[in-house]
Structures are given as structure tokens and as C-alpha cells.
Amino acid sequence: MVNGMVKSWNRFFNRSKGTAELNAPIKSTAFVSVDLELTGLDDKRDSIVSIGAVKMAGGKILLTESFYMLVNPKIAFCGPSVTIHGITPADVCSQEGIEKVLREFIDFCGSDVVVGHCVEIDLAFLGRETRKLTGKPFTNPFIDTLALYGWLTSRHYPIGCSSRACGNSSLYEIAKHFAIPATIAHNAIMDAYITAQLFQRFISELSNYGVKNVGDLLRIGNPSKGGIDSITSGEIYNF
């Protein structure tokens, strides 16, 4: 499924190459920072338990335009996932199933460019559920902040780092290096907000390298250049 999402990114880029959309300035583009909490990481058997998202206009975070819903996954929880995100079966037993929540989430996102950290994990779940619900894939273009981080660290020492490799690819550790408070662990709306702040820092840095349009940003943020393959074995990075 993950490889499928990367192929989807490549199809989007090839389809849009040379169009006004890719030439659009970053500062005038609509983005949406997204995070999911899950019952586990198996995109064939596990399910979504919450979705959080925050809109952005270019690098400006729109705090009044946010989305957060718990989801009844209708499957058993695994112990490690509850420990990480703190959502229990009792919290979601009276909540809506993914069908209704996903429709509202898709409406909220519109055609915005999705931003996430290790985004291919979340997109694997979104892609599966969207196909089941609509018969079509989740088609929004998407950017991985971990890929952006890798691109930047290959060119200079990031803010707050004493060496080129900070040694941890988790959202919270990278946020700390950029002086972004990260005090609430694995809550979808808070993680989406932290990711949005990180994205703000990155596009500011990227402008110094001449990265100013959406096409360049999508190319650099391709999740095949970050995400799962760059994560240290045993590191807990997303549920």
C-alpha cells in the first residue's frame, strides 16, 4: 500500500508537470496539515481512530480552520497503540464510523495540498478507506515534512542541531530542534499543528535555496525520499 501511495504521488506529479498549479507560488497555495491515530500500523488489518487537520494559507496557519474527530474503528485495539495515543475503546464506542468521518474530512481538505510527517503511513490508510467509500483513490497531492527535513539537512546544519545528522526522525525530536513546543504526545490535532509549524520553518528555509513554487516543493517533499525507509529500527514514530 505504501509503495502504491508513492506511485500515486509520481502519477500526480507527471500529470501536473508544466501546469499553472505546479508553478503556483507557495505563499498563495492552500495546504492542510494532517495526522491520524491508528489501532496499529498494518494498513490491511488496522484502522483509524482519530483524524486531525489544520489549514494553512502558504506558510500561515489558520487556527480557526481545523478538523478533529474520533472514529469508531469497529475492530480490537492493540495494547501498544493505546499506550501511545491514549485513545481507548470506551472513548470511541459511541463515535461515528470511518464512513461519515471520512466524508467530512474529504470535504474539509478540498483540493488542498496535504502535509504530514511520515505522511505515507497516514495516506496508506486514507487511500484504503477512500477507495472503499468512493471507489476512487485519495487524490490530493501530498508532502512529507520528513523528506523536506532530509533535503535541508543534506545542505546545512538545521537550527538547533550541533551536527548534520540529528539522529532522530520523529516529529517531536525534529520539532525540538526548531524550538517548536511539543508537549502532548500523539494527539492527532496537536500533531497536525506541530507539523504545520514545522512546515512553516521549512518553507522559510527553503526559500533561501530558491524553492518558491509548488512544483519544487512537491518534488523535494516526495515521500519516497523520506518516510518509513529513513526511520531507525524500533523507533516509534506514528500511531
pLDDT of residue 75: 77
Model pTM?
0.82
Residue 33 · residue 195 · CB < 8 Å: yes
Our answer to whether residue 186 is catalytic in this structure is yes
Question: Across the 239 residues of the chain, what is the mean pLDDT of every consecutive 10-residue run?
Answer: 49 43 91 94 89 96 96 76 69 89 97 93 93 93 92 70 52 87 80 96 91 91 58 39
- At which residue does the C-alpha cell 474520533 appear? 70
pLDDT of residue 2: 46
d(CA 97, CA 132): 13
88 is in which domain, residue-wise? 2-17+25-227
235 in any annotated domain: no
Q: Using only the alpha carbons of the chain, give its radius of gyration.
A: 17
40 in any annotated domain: yes
Residue 62 · residue 33 · CB < 8 Å: no
pLDDT of residue 86: 65
Residue 112 · residue 213 · CB < 8 Å: no
d(CA 144, CA 216): 13
pLDDT of residue 178: 85
239 in any annotated domain: no
237 in any annotated domain: no
238 in any annotated domain: no
Domain count, the chain: 1
d(CA 108, CA 106): 5
d(CA 172, CA 49): 21
Q: What is the CATH number of the domain that holds 211?
A: 3.30.420.10
pLDDT of residue 189: 95
